[in-house]
Chains A and B, each alone.
Chain A
Amino acid sequence: MNEEFMGYERPKGKVGIRNKIAIIPSVVCVNHIAEQIANKLDDAIAIRHPLGCGQFGPDYNNTFRTLVGLGSNPNIYGVVVIGLGCENLKSRVLAKNINRTKKPVEFFDVQDIKGGSTAAIEYGIKIGNHMREEANELKKEPFDFSNLVLGLECGGSDSISGISANPAVGIISDRVVELGGTSILPEFTEWIGTEHLLIERAINENVAQKIHNTITGFIENLKGLGIDFLGVQPTPGNIDGGLSTIEEKSLGNIAKSGKSPIQGILEYSEPPKTKGLWLMLEPGLDIESMTGLAAAGAQVILMTTGRGSPCGNPVAPVIKLCGNPKTSDWMAENIDVDASQIIKGEKTMEELAEVLWLKLKKTLNGEQTQAEKLGFDDIAIWRNTASPFQYMHCK
């Protein structure tokens, strides 16, 4: 099979499917400035986020890795990093680390510009416009699927997702992996009950042990906090909908990952080291999850939904599939692929997967997803690491 898509060549052998300029604030204090700059440029995004100062140790590192990852994503041609000047996540250090990709990166601090925020916005627009002109010179070229990193996401799931949209995504994930590409499954809370099956798919004993330790560690954390997670799974609503056991429920979720062997578990926002299917640590909030996928290098995300979700991502286009006929009708403008033909008995899984494959290729080749058209571009960063502020309460 000679499958190709049209993309933009980046330095160091990377391939983007979009050609955006990213304006990245190193700290929340300059979000508005970043947004004003991006609004004045063609095809530019502002990575608005609420962090960047007052963070320590691993908590700081996690935010830093995520912002570096978003700027490094090959869908971004070049980056303008903006600091305020007094924050502990320095614009200079952020720019330097994104520049390891060899893509164009500029940075400045607002406190260094005479004239305040208005002058800073004007300065940022000037730099951004220059970058935009350079980016426009690039022409798309054909690339094979070994250049693709696919993100797998689900949100607002119902009992239909697991027998419709999710397995169709699994077929496509397997196809990308067979074509030499990469696929990433986040949301570890939805692996629970299937870890024995994930372990069977691990490429070696070390990976199997890591999967086991991740789930066991989480269950131990729950027990330590006195939280009974598994005692209420599946939920009464799940059982009414026909789900009998925790493994049946989680199988519906991990169906998105197909049958491919598992190469390993990534930290949140960590780029995969090799091709193939990877798991990523992330607890299941859609925006955090998709931020982590884009920061890990995913150029495109497949997201299934049952109850309906408008969510997108500023860096990686999000293709939305919905298996629920009512949601596909009521929220049609937020859905890219109507997967309800499965429940209506009008299409087989293989036929649905072909529809999704064509949509994926069109999206890679430049067609906007519904979330892109409607402007859904939120960022959330999972604060999953030790912080001196953990468990502080007033007594």
Chain B
Amino acid sequence: MKNKYIVMNKDDNCATALVDINKDEVIKYDNMNIKINHSITLGHKFALNDIKTGDFVKKYGQTIGIATEDIQKGDWIHTHNIMSQYLKEVLNL
């Protein structure tokens, strides 16, 4: 049975799609059902739980960015709703 997504670390709050996932599709993760709120293209990410504005988005068990708006479980995560913490806080850009 083909996995539709991969979670790189148990601490992550996002998953990476291994196939194109349709909007409104329901996927199972960790005994919970997640309704996918947007079409997710292969290689793109979606939220495994609700993420509030300013919260860290985690992949590989590490912070990959900060939420710039409230993100709902099942939402597509990309440049429209997260920004680099590195550019903001390390390089002050």
Contact = CB atoms under 8 A, between A and B. Distances in A.
A252 B44 CA distance: 14
B39 interface: no
B15 to A, nearest CB: 10
B82 A244 contact: yes
Contacts of A349: 6, 8
B60 A255 contact: yes
B90 A163 contact: no
B2 A345 contact: yes
Interface stretch (B21-29, B30-38, B47-55, B62-70): B62-70
Contacts of B63: 247
A245 B6 contact: no
B65 A244 contact: yes
A339 interface: no
A245 B62 contact: no
A196 to B, nearest CB: 6
Contact of B84 (A163, A195, A247, A346): A247
B72 interface: no
Interface in B40-93: 41-45, 59-60, 62-65, 77-79, 82-87, 90-91, 93
A159 B41 CA distance: 12
B4 to A, nearest CB: 7
Contact of A159 (B8, B43, B82, B87): B43
Interface in A182-205: 193-197
Contact of A345 (B4, B43, B79): B4
A251 interface: yes
A248 B2 contact: no
A110 interface: no
Interface residues of B, number: 33
A355 interface: no
B45 A344 contact: no
Nearest to B78: A244
B8 A167 contact: yes
Chain A interface category by residue count: 20 to 34
Nearest to B17: A242
A252 B9 CA distance: 13
A246 interface: yes
Contacts of B13: none
A380 interface: no
Given A230-B93, A242-B43, A247 B65 contact: yes
A196 B90 contact: yes
Given A193-B86, A343-B18, A244 B77 contact: yes
Contacts of A252: 60
Contacts of A194: 62, 86
Contacts of B84: 193, 245-247
B2 A247 contact: no
Residue of B4, B44, B45 with most chain A CB atoms under a 10 A cut-off: B44
Nearest to A252: B60
B48 to A, nearest CB: 15
A241 B16 CA distance: 11
Interface of A: 159-160, 163, 167, 193-197, 219, 230, 239, 241-242, 244-248, 251-252, 255, 342-346, 349
Given A244-B45, A344-B2, 15 more contacts: A167-B60, A194-B62, A196-B86, A219-B91, A242-B44, A242-B78, A245-B64, A245-B84, A245-B86, A246-B86, A246-B87, A247-B84, A248-B59, A255-B60, A346-B2
Interface of B: 1-4, 6, 8, 16-19, 41-45, 59-60, 62-65, 77-79, 82-87, 90-91, 93
14 contacts: A159-B43, A196-B90, A244-B64, A245-B65, A246-B87, A247-B62, A247-B86, A248-B64, A251-B64, A252-B60, A255-B60, A342-B6, A345-B19, A346-B2
Across chains A and B, which 10 residue pairs bring their CB atoms closest together, nearest first?
A: A345-B3, A242-B43, A345-B2, A242-B44, A245-B84, A248-B64, A245-B65, A193-B86, A159-B43, A247-B86
